[in-house]
Structure 1
């Protein structure tokens, strides 16, 4: 059976196989998000400087994403295909970084490994987004991104829970001895490295790629694009040719990801202070707060995995941008509500709303964008689109520390509230986006 774009309609299990690698990718990403601030703090980072240390991640993405997207657009190998070589290389490097991260003995080492880890995740992750556009016609693209979101959700659930599982059920020490990273975190990262590699290899070995329709013309284009100067010219010239929909989504992404970055950086410190009554990273209470935040993040990830398959249904009855607006509004209000939380168990409730927003963030913008992009430059533009994820992260890294210290008197929970407000702004901006698949625009 063919879709309207002459691409085959894939079965459930074909969608499963081509998306399963994202389970491993998100395993690494979730370990990074839930534990990096904890690792930095344990190694002596000043809470006011956390956002600056996190800059390694978005700066790396800014450099890596469009280059990897461009290279994967212009790659074809008879056995490996177009995107799968990048899945494999990224998985090898990310798994290595996951083994190195918890063995950092100094803050500067952890920052360098974060740089390596984020670069490697981007090498394998960005071609996965283009993979959906390559293999699926418009009628299945939302389902394809939803399947990715399902695996992103469950990968993040398990990864976020690992330190708590090791501590509460396997008796592993959760105490930082002589300032070292706790064993619970170290073992979690070791498991993450193995799972990342295994899951990505599943997709590499089970998902097939079709060669370009005109292979000779494609190979001629490969020959013409090998010069460094030509490649850089093509990469930078594309910024001026972005589709209108992509420009509109850029504004939405900017405010969305300021909210997310605030959450990832400051939730551990916020919960440590407002729920567990401590900001001392060497205390048992702070490390307990770190484990609790891991469970909170598992809740929002689990909700996103369940919501991923419901959002396309709602979108069919309304529109993709209406669904995205609604989900962002719920997520923003949920982040703001953390200010009032004092009970550890109540801290899980706002994470339900964050999970609904996260499901939409990982699905709707990419589904809307895929319908507005030329097929020949899908990987490149998906890489460029992520500029509008990393640029707000850089802005956050430069400003959130100042805001936390100078404006909020060091109270990280107020920074989470600021992130919630940014997400509400993103919700309002969503209504201005043009969706080519929506008859009403």
Structure 2
């Protein structure tokens, strides 16, 4: 049974770009942006089109009913709540690097350095006294909400939406009160899962705009990702050293994984590099994609998984394809609990096609759905093989389909015209048109 639920908007993917065209005079371009914004938001014909990423953001916000002339009254986090969010973000270890590379630039340019969490709450803000006072008057303070849904188009919130570095200048901001500002932000990602952990940003008065700022912020965000990657490797190495004597004493297949599901060591089976763990892992029985029924035992910094073979009473019973949240996701539930995984755009398109066709799709039919070309079966088979590493026995073959015993729900954005905006798949384009 397929139940379609229409809720929040899906998020587009886009490339990073500077707000200033090459060779443009910042003052002239700022005046042009003001005319573009005024015409576009009034429903007229602007003297030049807004950048696609900006125009898409404006359309989302107009559709949501956000008033560009009003400043939403969202209270900053209280002290204890701010400290809790800082601790939960996992970003504190990156602060020395971010400060070293970006704070001197912020001080010299008259800007502020801002680090926010994945929910676009400002966790840390540092800069000169003068620009901090101006930011205070804007409500741009530690604990404030800066997501796109709340304050409109801005580098922090919109870069998290599009999951790419972004510079937003002057009248590209949706809110009138933000037009005197310029900002450049880049997401901070978990190098293993790809999940957005937060965002780093340089913001200041519009007169401080510089074309190279976005490249600098993007480069420092990449350095932060390398720092996280090195920390991950060290953690896996420690877990591997712990696992070696433990696995040597066991009989039967077993593997040791970190809290993120990355495999540190295994015995008796060809283990994947990473397994998708249940959303809330507890000691005891659990159903794990690609492994099936397992017994889970806690370890310092990870888990011991011992596959126990198939059991009909512990098979997955439900699947939710969520295309309405901040990123395409799939959730699978069963008697042993549930697990959730983020999806790439291509994997979201594949699952969307299969959930709409319970009888299944051939490789050629899927290729037509995704590319408009039924001959691209090699690409389709490779992508479905990767997706099956996440979904395991939920996704069946010959033809490709979701197990008929699994209850399926698909959550789409409102309106459906916003479905997977970055997708060019013919299937998605047809659904957008209704």
Q: TM > 0.5 between the two?
A: no
Q: Could you say which structure has the higher strand fraction?
A: 2
Higher-helix-fraction structure: 1
TM-score, normalised by the number of residues in structure 2: 0.25
Choose 1 or 2 for highest CA Rg.
2
Greater relative contact order (CA < 8 Å, ≥ 6 in sequence)? 1
Length-normalised TM-score, structure 1: 0.24
